[in-house]
A = this chain, B = another copy of it.
């Protein structure tokens, strides 16, 4: 696809080449995200950050990514109650607010609303999550993390072996990740979930129809023995009708250091979209894994900066100028990473 001036609404937009392009650019963002260099390439540009649903980490990650490229951020948080209560259409909101920035990152509770907004916007829009529908930058940062972690272990995305664990029914991130993995050949996926929280059948079908191996299981230990990645997820309890129903599944699959040592291959990477549930009765990833160097969950969150910087640089077509407007960091950053 041509990135310059375009919206990023769904991972369905991407071919494998597009994903590779995004990741190549993300790699080049590392010196800036890690504060070894700063760049002012987007000095004077404005990001309109519109989070009509709260999401601290996604909002701050988008905003910091734009700052790291030298741009400014104008934020709107909370439901845009005033204008909507007065009967304003999403079309009008988009036409007006898109005049105040150069690019927009938007989250909205309603499925499809970001695409509707984008259709009326005069500047490119990145979908930062529209209900249970899409959140493309999260899927990209997950895949980017997998690529980085296994590259450090001498492997590539082709023939990747991955176990996805937990609430695979309601977890938006694993759905999107499965679709992205489908772009790579020979991926082997083990899906570990309670029967009631299985991955939607059409996603499994699509993977199998394109030649990938998919196994479904209700056993954690047996499923994590021969994989490169364990991708754990939280029970999305806010999606259940009752707390009791959610409690049936909370804490069902728990990975800790002991299980990891006994069952996983050395250097198996542990991922999680965060937040992880650290309460006594949940702990899908135990705190005793925090010292395990294969726990990649915080590097995964850091990678969000790289991927979002890459999306901004591609959409605004400044990839080749980033380094031109760079210089060394002036302040103390000792021990930062």
Write out the residue numbers on chain B whose beta carbons fall within 8 Å of the beta carbon of A35. Answer: 102
Q: At the interface with chain B, which of A38-46, A162-170, A172-180?
A: A38-46
Known pairs A74-B67, A100-B60; A86 contacts B277 (CB<8 A): yes
Residue A154 interfacial (CB < 8 Å): no
Does A4 sit at the interface, judged by CB under 8 A?
yes
Partner of A274, one of B43, B61, B68, B96: B96
Q: Given A57-B83, A86-B275, A101-B64, are A96 and B331 also a contact pair (CB < 8 Å)?
A: no
Is A14's beta carbon under 8 Å from chain B?
Answer: no
A42–B333 Cα distance when bound, in Å, is 12
A99 neighbours in B (Cβ, 8 Å): 298, 301-302, 305
Distance in Å: Cβ of A31 to nearest Cβ of chain B:
12
Asked if B279 and A97 make an inter-chain contact with CB atoms under 8 angstroms apart, the answer reads no
Write the chain B residue with the least CB distance to A327.
Answer: B44
- Chain B residues with CB under 8 A of A333: 5, 102
Report whether over half of chain A's contact residues are helix, strand or loop; otherwise say mixed.
loop
Shortest A122–chain B CB gap in Å is: 6
- How often does this chain occur in the complex, in copies? 3
Known: A43-B38, A74-B73. A89 touches B335 (CB 8 A): no
Tell me which residues across on chain B come within 8 A of A287, comparing CB atoms: 89, 91
Residues of B within 8 Å of A227, CB to CB, are: none
Residues of B close to A305: CB separation below 8 A: 99-100
Name the segment of A198-206, A216-224, A316-324 touching the other chain. A316-324
Q: Cβ of A27 < 8 Å from any Cβ of B?
A: no
CB distance from A323 to the nearest CB of B (A): 13
Asked whether, in the complex, the Cβ of A97 is within 8 Å of the Cβ of B56, the reply is yes
CB of B64 within 8 A of CB of A330, answer no
Are B44 and A336 within 8 A (Cβ)? no
Let me know if A136 is at the binding interface, CB within 8 A.
no
In the bound complex, CA of A89 to CA of B279 (Å): 8
- The answer to whether B60 and A76 have CB atoms under 8 Å apart is yes
The answer, among B42, B46, B67, for a CB contact under 8 Å with A68, is B46
**Chain A, range 65-104, C-beta contacts under 8 Å to B:** 67-68, 70, 72-76, 80-83, 86-89, 91-93, 95-97, 99-102
Mark A residues whose CB is within 8 Å of B: 4-5, 35, 38-46, 48, 54-57, 60-61, 63-64, 67-68, 70, 72-76, 80-83, 86-89, 91-93, 95-97, 99-102, 122-123, 234, 274-279, 282, 287, 290, 298, 301-302, 305, 315-318, 321, 325, 329-337
